[in-house]
């Protein structure tokens, strides 16, 4: 049976779980410790960059990083996938909180109003003579009910905030904050499965 796995360039547990949920077989591109230092993609927002431009740039940078690694290591020819998720609050990029105080400040701002969650996904076939790259952008509107100061504090203390864009995880306790969503639930969690499957099929992947 041919090996039809793709490479996932990600440390996100959520993205792994979502690929598993969709039955998409993959192998993680793991970094050796020596590579970790230059492995980090610069995730700071450039002056004047809109959330749309930002999230697509970072997802692309992750894919390029993975492609270089794949070629350097002479790994088998396979499709690779990378993604990035960010929040857009009135045009401002809201990424992962720096610390608990930052998480609290972000959640206070999200309380009682709507924001957008953007996830950019990039698929690439780096081995081709003309490397093929495809990308998609999932945009969802999320509305939070008004949160009390006490529940914001308790939520941040639970530890769920720190590794997530916008300081919350809709798949966790923060589900109780969400009044409505319009868009892609899996996109909000970190990998829009509908769009991802269609993109993989464009590469001829049997998913």
Ligand X SMILES: Cc1cn([C@H]2C[C@H](O)[C@@H](COP(=O)(O)OP(=O)(O)OP(=O)(O)O)O2)c(=O)[nH]c1=O
Interaction site with ligand X (CB under 6 A): 10-12, 14-15, 62, 83-85, 96, 117, 163-166, 168-171, 188-190
Burial of 61 (0-12, 13-18, 19+ CB in 10 A): middle
Give me the least distance between CB of 183 and ligand X, in Å please. 11
Of the candidates 3, 38, 84, 88, the residue annotated as catalytic is 84
Cβ proximity to ligand X, 60 vs 62, nearer residue: 62
Give me the least distance between CB of 56 and ligand X, in Å please. 12
Asked if residues 116 and 87 have their Cβ atoms less than 8 Å apart, the reply is yes
Query: Any catalytic annotation for residue 84?
Result: yes
Cβ proximity to ligand X, 70 vs 189, nearer residue: 189
Give me the least distance between CB of 1 and ligand X, in Å please. 28
Q: Give the position of tokens 């945009």.
A: 139
Per DSSP, helices labelled H in the chain are 13-22, 33-39, 51-72, 100-110, 149-157, 185-189, 193-202
- Backbone angles phi and psi of 133, in degrees to 5: -135, 135
Cβ proximity to ligand X, 125 vs 170, nearer residue: 170
Give me the least distance between CB of 206 and ligand X, in Å please. 24
Report CA-CA distances (Å) from 170 to 77, 110, 138.
35, 13, 16
How far is 84 from 167, CA to CA, in rounded Å?
Answer: 15
Cβ proximity to ligand X, 78 vs 128, nearer residue: 78
Report, as residue numbers or ranges, the catalytic residues: 84
């Amino acid at each position: 049976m041919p090996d039809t796995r793709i490479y996932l360039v990600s440390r996100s547990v959520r993205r792994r779980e979502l690929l598993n949920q969709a039955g998409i077989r993959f192998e993680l591109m793991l970094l050796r410790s020596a590579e970790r230092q230059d492995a980090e993609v610069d995730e700071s927002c450039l002056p004047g960059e809109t959330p749309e431009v930002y999230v697509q740039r970072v997802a692309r940078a992750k894919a390029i990083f993975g492609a270089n690694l794949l070629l350097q290591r002479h790994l088998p020819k396979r499709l690779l996938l990378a993604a990035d998720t960010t929040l857009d609050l009135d045009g401002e990029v809201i990424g992962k909180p720096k610390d608990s105080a930052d998480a609290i400040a972000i959640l206070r701002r999200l309380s009682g109003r709507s924001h957008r969650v953007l996830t950019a996904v990039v698929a690439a076939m780096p081995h081709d003579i003309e490397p093929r790259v495809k990308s998609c952008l999932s945009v969802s509107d999320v509305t939070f009910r008004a949160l009390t100061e006490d529940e914001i504090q308790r939520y941040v203390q639970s530890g769920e905030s720190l590794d997530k864009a916008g300081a919350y995880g809709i798949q966790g306790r923060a589900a109780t904050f969400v009044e409505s969503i319009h868009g892609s639930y899996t996109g909000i969690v970190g990998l829009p499965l509908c769009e991802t499957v269609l993109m993989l099929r464009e590469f001829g992947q049997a998913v």
